[in-house]
Structure 1
Amino acid sequence: MPPPKLRRRPALVGAALVAICLGALLAAWAWTATTNTEEVLVARQTIERGAVIQSGDLARVRVSVDPALHPVPASQIDDIVGQRAAVDVAAGAMLTPDSFTSTVVPAGNNSIVGVALTPAQVPGLDLAPGDHVRVVVTPAQGAGPPAGAPPVSDAEVAGVHVDGETGQLIVDLLVPHADAAVLAARAATGNVALVLDSRER
């Protein structure tokens, strides 16, 4: 008696071939994705310009990046911690060589002067490090415009925070040494206001 003939099932053969092709494509994609990723440093939270970078400010993430962006490898974290942010680095943004600097602020012939202000003494826009402002002397209550008191020009915002006790906005201004004493004396009276001139960095 002749042996029974095996039936070929084209549908099953086709499904097997499709499964093999899909498996090969997935394996190729996984290999490519793995080999094209790099562990880089990103900002865990917003780092303001001029702030000292702490280890808690940074996170390591593995991403697929364009080499043209020049991201900082995660292996360099020990070299980055302790340096200062050269620009504002938003939370989640990758660090690049332009994101940090070893320059100390203030440097050269500059000084930092803190000015306490109420909402009426600052622009409606939120101030940020790097903004260029003028400090304008305002008249005391019930007095006329001050005589011989020109504004201090070319001041740069180095930092901004709110005083937890008074609720006032404290703006740290970077000014030349020659203007620092005059600005500090005027700021102590409370009769000053800030004018935002430029946000160019």
Structure 2
Amino acid sequence: MKNTPQIPAPTAAPPMRPETPIGAGPVPRRRKRSMLVLGVLVTLVGVLGTSMLVRSAGDRVDVLAVTRDVPAGQEITAEDLTTAALPNDPALAPVKASEKSSVIGRRATAPLHRGELLTDAQIHGGKALPAGQELVAVEVQRGAAPVDALAPGDQVKIVSTPGKDEQVSKQMPEEIEAQIVKVGAPNASGAVVVQVSVAGTDSSLVAARAATGRVAIVLASKG
């Protein structure tokens, strides 16, 4: 009699672990508090940023701007100026609108162009000239003026110089007394533009001679 193999009885399957629904569990109280604090901080940062932008936009100053072109040497009038509001930037140095009355009557020491801000450098030394005096720009060539020694207020003489092929006259060359108003910077060839104040009766003659480029400036003793 053959032995029949015995089949082991099936074992009972272990009970299945119930699935936990995603997000069903309660959020810990500590996490809720952290999220609340983070939300408050974000709100505060937004409020502070908006406040700073509003404050910076409101921190403006009134300055002077040019309404029309003004040649160098011309007297500045009220019609040449207007008021503009700009942020208070230390990098900018325009003339404040409150100084308008002191600017009117001064002469531009550099060309003023419509739409630009008026700076002190454009009017520095350009105070109103005494009665009977006029401003003339004289360009002197290299070596024709003691440029390094000239300063606003110096008394000088404008002297005509001979041409390249002309002989020097033994007679005293004609001199015109003047006062230095501003000394420019040398250009590439070494020529310098010097603004001088001269009597109204001599201004046309000085301008005509300056146009030829044959002038020299002699510095009088400063005593």
TM-score between the two structures when normalised by the length of structure 1: 0.50
Q: Which has the higher contact order (CA 8 A, sep 6+)?
A: 1
Higher strand share: 1
Q: Which has the larger radius of gyration?
A: 2
TM-score between the two structures when normalised by the length of structure 2: 0.46
